[in-house]
Structure 1
């Protein structure tokens, strides 16, 4: 619990958490987007 208090007690910690959350969200979005386009391309080729 002390780790979370230290993380959110300073603006650098909050910014670091925001960057990590953004990267994880972007990775999830890109994984789904690429998967969708791979399936679409496979359907076009038959």
Structure 2
């Protein structure tokens, strides 16, 4: 049986990997979000000095 068909037929595998993808997506989003906020804050701090 193909791994691709097994992924969609077994709900445990589907929901596990879907949940994992959501969590990893959130981690990437917040890492980029806080990195950009940090850069903006550093630029603002350098301008005021």
TM-score where L is the length of structure 1? 0.78
The count of residues paired between Structure 1 and Structure 2 equals 46
Partner of residue 17, structure 2: 17
Q: Which runs of 5+ in 2 are unaligned?
A: none
Q: Which structure is higher in RCO with an 8 Å CA cutoff and minimum separation 6? A: 1
Aligned-residue Cα RMSD (Å) equals: 1.7
Q: Which runs of 5+ in 1 are unaligned?
A: none
Q: Which has the larger radius of gyration?
A: 2
TM-score where L is the length of structure 2? 0.74
Post-superposition shift, 1:40? 0.4
Structure 1 stretches of 4+ with a deviation exceeding 4 A read: 2-8
